[in-house]
Chain A
């Protein structure tokens, strides 16, 4: 992988705006993948699209799509301003509202990119290759994640810099950790401006 990143040096570089867009797009597809893979929404409400050289599933539920769009737009703005630190997808049981799974995307922003306007030297293709392997891993997590037996809902948490005013329709929330959890770190990718580390945490084998 590392060698591939180096090979991907091509002439088109990447700007802060482009990076924000790429990362936000990754979140959109990533969240969609999680929602599909983990069966949060019924599989028939998803449709296939080609992205990153993979066939990905994207929701067709208008309300959900709209919601995710809003989040992605918001993320894009925050990524551009380099003020977002973490995005968390919390999956919790509807009945008991117990948190069962927690997908955490840590974002490292290179704040110096805000000042220099020149593009960084990393091709879009190289970045997309890295994103692809992250998404692949998300798909592969079924090998170890527990079955979600009850109906679940998901929640998005976004960690931002402290001084940010909470926009309308957002509210402050706790971290919603899982007690007694197993944590698995997935691959990470970087646009050289934003670096995203993915981790998934899930409940340890409970006594049946």
Chain B
């Protein structure tokens, strides 16, 4: 390699596309040297060779040819683009191999898809397509690429979700996936830390520090006359940060959708993973999302004018354009966290402008302005609007004071397809309405005077307008920073408090993201007499509220909890449910079963379990989220994998999707359902569920047959799942989170502890976990004998009064009772595991057959009996 020509690559570096796997220098040199000379023929020949090989290939691995072909194209056409026509080739390749199931787990095939995704404008659709088709879902590369794409768009939460899915699927190579996930988490938490280190006011930041993470403007903006230049066009507005791509085109694509569902993004984007399969399109999104591309056709067939706007028909619309795009700006807090320090300085001018906006808007509504006089109130207003900008979601804000106004607006915006002006008019009466709804005895509502509520509602409206003002120019050039600094000082004094408020919210949100949300808000005094009194729980939940609110399944609703009773319809969120039955109902808790309105209740169909709590404390939701977080892959069908929480002013409703309508009680009501096999399956899962709960340091405290919904293993004897769960627990009314409240030893406050046997068995000193063992013992007793457990003590050993000797497998059951009743002071998790493993050893093939038979036999009568 001579010194002279060996540096050709440097001269044409702009014309060489970087490749993930790097380039071979020799072929790069060759390709570059051939560019000018007309010796394209060699390339063409080679290309034809490949084409011929593809066409006449008769071996059993056509993917191999494609792979070699594409690799060669990549190396031989360093410029990408039309020459090699890589995108078209990749499209051909995936199309040619489409439907070949044997390649679905082949990394080479996935690799083709992912390369094709790189050519697409909107690869996210492609990834969800792959996911739905199970292409490469066993491979880590899919999840890594997908999460990267999401991360680049600022959707850290979704990216994390994707990683979680991959980990759950044990995608190979798992260590690579784990490493990437770890790095992802490190990046997120590092940014959190960076943001934490930031001082809220930018005063003591030197100019250099302010300027450093920002892109330096390439050219000074020219002043014309006395006007300050603000517009910058072309490439200059693109932000250099790799993990933040502001995509003006993307948001322009669906201007209309955006204008009417601006606040719904969070809830829309939320349960993405679970619904993916449902939405799966059978056709691959093969189009590259390229617009205005018309395939060549004959010229002589004159085209008749069709209907107006038929031009769209000529171009076959790509499939992805039908899937709802998730509006990325919906997560502006993520964007904030993406680039710590400098983003804030860019934000400040926005905040100031916004304050001005809100002031003017307030003046326009004379009534509100008249009511609002005090200076501190002004602070309150601005802070709210600031929060809104930064967190981007109103619902998430807080439990207190006046969330209903903003939510009302959300709803109004949702219903109305009119632009914002119309919405603004519609929502004027809203504050008055919500005032009327407020309960007299609610302490919060009494604390918040009327005049504070009204302007806040107004604020929400102004805020919407200002959201629209967020222009795509997110860059903060040096000039911009200067001018903004001036306006901050000239603006309002409250700007400092504003920023600190944002800071607080941001931090809590982000900490949650980094999965390190400490439950430190709880001090020892919180370990009070009644850990599940609403006040205590509320206090406890307040410290973790941001993390709850950050969940896409959390919905803060306006007004009062709707009344729910059987055979009535109820609207929760955007869904209307028809309530079919009530499992239990005490003063505070209600458990209902519902199906979507308009559906007919089928005997074996699944529906929604709705848990209603008359206090605005989403405790069950919190526990479910915690379980999910703590158990990771162990969090399965035994718990509610798909629940959403609707928090109202005076209560909350938690909807658990995909729940069978039967509980363990339904089995117990007739002895003929209870066969030996069913008992074992149920007890096995009972032990397993409690084991998991205890592993997550959560005590259920109220194990009764009613709280266990039957899982697919019993309700759907022909379930596809290999080992479906027999039980599902969704109710955690009396549960205790021992990780947050360690050192509790008050089993007497658990409902189980109030039962006769509970009072006998549980001493003052017992560990809280003990309570659930008593619950288990009782349920097992109910299954075996049909009545509650009765115990007596003999030689300091607790025994049951019933005679076990006549029961089949009496050895095992007596051992189970002996160990469970006398487990005081021992760790429960290993005990439960041992017992469970002992049962699962009995599960052999003949057992399974027998179980299936009984299930089928029992199933029919079971359904009939319960549905008469």
Q: Which residues of A contact B (CB under 8 A)?
A: 42-44, 47-48, 60, 95, 136-137, 140, 142-147, 149-151, 182-185, 187, 202-206, 208
Contacts and interface: CB of A to CB of B under 8 A. Distances in A.
Give the one of A137, A151, A208 with max B CB within 10 A. A208
Interface stretch (B23-31, B296-304, B513-521, B824-832): B23-31
Which of A47, A144, A202, A203 is the most central at the interface, judged by chain B CB atoms within 10 Å of its CB? A144
13 contacts: A42-B190, A136-B10, A142-B13, A143-B9, A144-B24, A146-B21, A147-B18, A147-B20, A150-B183, A183-B25, A185-B6, A202-B22, A208-B111
B248 interface: no
Interface of B is mostly: helix
A131 to B, nearest CB: 15
B313 interface: no
B28 A144 contact: yes
B18 A143 contact: yes
B22 A146 contact: yes
Interface string B371-395: 0000000000000000000000000
B107 interface: yes
A203 B208 contact: no
B22 A145 contact: yes
Contacts of A183: 25
Contacts of A144: 9, 16, 18, 22-25, 28
Interface string B1-12: 100001101100
Contacts of B414: none
Contacts of B216: 48
A204 B208 contact: no
Given A137-B10, A140-B10, A143-B9, A206 B21 contact: yes
A208 B107 contact: yes
B657 interface: no
Contacts of A60: 212
Contacts of A136: 10
A3 to B, nearest CB: 13
B340 interface: yes
B340 A44 contact: yes
Nearest to A151: B183
Name the residue in B18, B78, B111, B341 with the highest tally of chain A Cβ atoms < 10 Å from its Cβ.
Answer: B18
A8 B1 CA distance: 27
A202 B10 CA distance: 17
Contact of B24 (A42, A48, A137, A205): A205
Contact of A146 (B9, B16, B19): B19
Contacts of A146: 19-22
B356 to A, nearest CB: 31
A60 B194 CA distance: 14
Given A144-B16, A185-B1, A137 B7 contact: yes
B71 interface: yes
Interface string B544-586: 0000000000000000000000000000000000000000000
Contacts of A142: 13, 18
B179 interface: yes
B24 A44 contact: no
B593 to A, nearest CB: 49
Contacts of B7: 137, 187
Contacts of A137: 7, 10
Contacts of A203: 22
Given A44-B340, A95-B179, A146-B21, A208 B16 contact: no
Contacts of B808: none
Given A95-B179, A205-B71, 18 more contacts: A43-B242, A44-B213, A44-B340, A95-B175, A136-B10, A140-B13, A143-B13, A144-B9, A144-B18, A144-B22, A144-B23, A144-B25, A146-B20, A150-B183, A151-B183, A204-B22, A204-B24, A208-B141
Nearest to A137: B10
Contacts of A95: 175, 179
A147 B23 CA distance: 10
B632 to A, nearest CB: 21
A33 B212 CA distance: 16
The 3 closest A-B pairs by CB, nearest first: A146-B22, A144-B23, A143-B16
A5 B23 CA distance: 32
Nearest to B213: A44
A137 B10 CA distance: 7
A143 B71 CA distance: 16
A44 B1 contact: no
Contact of B212 (A47, A143, A202, A208): A47
B331 interface: no
| Residue among B25, B78, B107 having the largest count of chain A Cβ atoms under 10 Å | B25
A12 B87 CA distance: 56
Contact of A208 (B18, B21, B190, B339): B21
Contacts of A149: 20
B108 interface: yes
A60 B209 CA distance: 11
Contacts of A42: 190
Contacts of B24: 144, 182, 204-205
A182 B75 CA distance: 14
B22 A208 contact: no
Nearest to B144: A149
Contacts of B78: 143
Interface string B131-160: 000000000010000000000000000000
Which of A145, A149, A151, A203 has the largest count of B CB atoms less than 10 A from its CB? A149
A206 B183 CA distance: 22
Interface in B653-671: none
B311 to A, nearest CB: 41
Contacts of A48: 212, 216
A207 to B, nearest CB: 9
Nearest to A42: B190
Contacts of B16: 143-144
Contacts of B190: 42
Contact of A205 (B9, B21, B212, B339): B21
Interface string B333-345: 0000001110000
Nearest to A150: B179
A208 B141 CA distance: 10
Nearest to A184: B25
Contacts of B28: 143-144
B848 to A, nearest CB: 41
A204 B26 CA distance: 12
A25 B666 CA distance: 81
A165 B341 CA distance: 46
A41 B28 CA distance: 28
Interface string B65-86: 0000001000000100000000
A41 to B, nearest CB: 11
A144 B16 CA distance: 8
A39 to B, nearest CB: 9
A110 B23 CA distance: 36
B358 to A, nearest CB: 33
A136 to B, nearest CB: 7
B117 to A, nearest CB: 14
A208 B340 contact: no
Nearest to B180: A150
A147 B213 CA distance: 23
Contacts of A208: 21, 107-108, 111, 141
A26 to B, nearest CB: 18
A143 B183 contact: no
Interface string B315-355: 00000000000000000000000011100000000000000
A57 to B, nearest CB: 10
A136 B684 CA distance: 67
Q: Which of A42, A44, A151 is the most central at the interface, judged by chain B CB atoms within 10 Å of its CB?
A: A44
Given A47-B208, A146-B19, A151-B183, A182 B25 contact: yes
Contacts of B6: 185
Given A44-B213, A146-B22, A205-B21, A140 B9 contact: yes
Contact of A182 (B22, B175, B179): B22
Give the residue among B22, B108, B208 with the most A Cβ atoms within 10 A: B22
